[in-house]
Structure 1
Amino acid sequence: MAYISPMLTNIVTAVKKASVNLNRDFSEIERLQNSIKGSLDFTRIAFDKIQKGLRNEFGKVLPTVAVVFANEKAPKEGMFLSVSGIEGLANFAHGNPEFAISAALMNGQTILCGVVYNPARDELFFAEKGKGAFKEGFRSHERLRVSSRQELEGALVAVKPVANDTVLSAKIVNNTLSFCKDVRVSGAVALDLAYVAAGKLDAVIAPQCLLSGMAAGILLVKEAGGMALDMEQADTRTEDLPMVLNSGNLVAVNFNLSQKIAKILK
């Protein structure tokens, strides 16, 4: 049975309360798909609204903890929440339910606990350092474990395209297809990482990630028995979490595939 600390309980509560309006906004987005301008305008409004809602809800339960969204500067000292209000924003704007709220409580470069919540599917994944990773259930929570796959040939790998570099993006996708069973490009790194933790994906290759989009998912993967590597160090199978958090060039994978996946990155 999962033990959920008061701190993590507060984060889950805040995320779920703030997500109520986001779910309503997503339903409206689905109805606006025949109007490109209308859906884009509404997406901007929804994005601003969820950020304000999350800041407000976190302020109620964790009033002394700074809330840091994407492209905001994290404090140099003390705990803070690294938050992505809509991870998978393009999906949200197109009425695609592959998006999530991602929130990680951090102390410096240590990830203490994390939550990834997809309100469209009501799927919530959570982890606390040293206490395992879980998917929320009605009666009991399901413990997450990464896959035990040992060979790339049968692996299902998610890839995040590189912004403004179609050549590198194509290279990573093509290399993945050359070595693995199939590739997925979901547009929501936080959910990809949750699915690696749950064993539904075997790996994620995600260059140029923002801290807010990957921190909670990294903890899910690590607490589920996986590894979080920097793309430059994938061939050494050496974890350097501060390096990953600073570079944003992430490979999340199980131990068996951790060195073999370096073939894709050459």
Structure 2
Amino acid sequence: MLDSNDLLETVKQAAYEAGTLLREGYSQKGRIDFEQKGASDFVTYYDTTAENIIIDCIGSAFPDIAFLGEESGLTPSSDSDYTVVIDPLDGTNNFLHGVPHFSVSIAVTKGNELVMGVVYQPLLDEMLWAAQGMGAFLNDRKLTTPSPRPMTELLVSTCLPYHAKGDCATALNQLTMLMPQVAGIRSPGSAALEVAYVSLGRFDAFWSQGAKLEFWDIAAGIVIAREAGCVVTDLNGEPNPGDWNSLLAAHPERHGQLLTLMKND
């Protein structure tokens, strides 16, 4: 039988090893080679190698487990209910441009339920992690639910659509509704990290609908934010939709207000 504590520690170790590669790659001088998968969608040696490091690390300890990777796709398992969901380099565009905001994101599902999440920022050596029922942590420090700020003091993060990746009109409408209500809106470029940052209070909320986010972009952050006491749903208020086409993570006292605001777009 799979030991969930062992799996969690292995996932954390895999994130650290992948992050070490990314930190070394980021420190190199000069242009990083890449391939373009689609509009504003790039892949580098570091994406694919980091994903392989994660799969090798976890797969060697848990050979029956399934994987869903951004670069490698689905590797199913007939013997395990667990699937490891991997974004080996969330924020590739930032990484390519020398912007120090990117992360390794690894989540674990059991059946259709998110049960573990790890988001590692290698440049800061900050590992945000959580497991269902255990709470959320920054490295070894357990997190408590951040105090809610008034709406007029909120700093909110989002992902915006570029090129053909999403619905620009929806994103602009929601920005127009939100901008007069809050203290600031940011789009730093690593959704996994920004959803997880809601658990720290670095952002008071994260929302996205216009941008096209994949499950591996947000899965780990969802677990961390929830275990820190935040509410995470789609913009219809569904806590576990079949397909995450939108997202809102916020403090319980602000989630409903923001949800109502977004629905009026």
| Structure 1 residue aligned with 2:130 | 127
Task: Give the total of aligned pairs.
Answer: 246
Residue deviations 1:128-148, cap 9 Å, x none? 100100000xxxx22223432
What amino acid does structure 1 have at the position aligned with 2:236?
A: E
Could you tell me how far apart the structure 1 residues matched to 2:214 and 2:262 are? 22
Among residues 258, 262, 265, which one is paired with 1:261 in the alignment? Answer: 258
TM-score (norm: length of structure 2): 0.85
Could you tell me how far apart the structure 2 residues matched to 1:177 and 1:218 are? 24
1:1-266 equivalences under 5 Å are: 5-28=5-28, 31-32=29-30, 35=31, 38-40=32-34, 44-70=44-70, 72-73=73-74, 75=76, 78-136=81-139, 141-162=140-161, 163-207=165-209, 208-233=212-237, 240-243=238-241, 246-262=243-259, 263-266=261-264
The structure with the largest strand share of the pair is 2
> What is the identity percentage for the equivalent residue pairs of Structure 1 and Structure 2?
23
Residue deviations 1:54-83, cap 9 Å, x none? 221222222221121137347597111011
The structure with the largest helix share of the pair is 1
What SS class does the counterpart of residue 197 from structure 1 fall into? coil
What SS class does the counterpart of residue 146 from structure 2 fall into? coil
Could you tell me how far apart the structure 2 residues matched to 1:87 and 1:50 are? 11
Is there any run of 5+ residues in structure 1 with no aligned partner, and where? 234-239
Could you tell me how far apart the structure 2 residues matched to 1:85 and 1:223 are? 22
Moved more, 83-92 or 166-175: 166-175
- CA offset at residue 219 of structure 1? 0.7
- C-alpha contact 1:146 1:202 (8 A) present in aligned 2: no
What amino acid does structure 2 have at the position aligned with 1:199?
A: G
- C-alpha contact 1:91 1:99 (8 A) present in aligned 2: yes
What amino acid does structure 2 have at the position aligned with 1:211?
A: F
Residue deviations 1:65-118, cap 9 Å, x none? 112113734759711101101111111111112111111111122111110001
What amino acid does structure 2 have at the position aligned with 1:143?
A: K
- CA offset at residue 169 of structure 1? 2.2
| Structure 1 residue aligned with 2:39 | none
What SS class does the counterpart of residue 232 from structure 1 fall into? coil
- C-alpha contact 1:84 1:212 (8 A) present in aligned 2: yes
Could you tell me how far apart the structure 1 residues matched to 2:174 and 2:144 are? 26
Could you tell me how far apart the structure 2 residues matched to 1:56 and 1:74 are? 13
- C-alpha contact 2:19 2:103 (8 A) present in aligned 1: no
Aligned-residue RMSD, C-alpha: 2.2
- C-alpha contact 2:115 2:132 (8 A) present in aligned 1: yes
- CA offset at residue 186 of structure 1? 1.0
TM-score (norm: length of structure 1): 0.85
Could you tell me how far apart the structure 2 residues matched to 1:84 and 1:56 are? 15
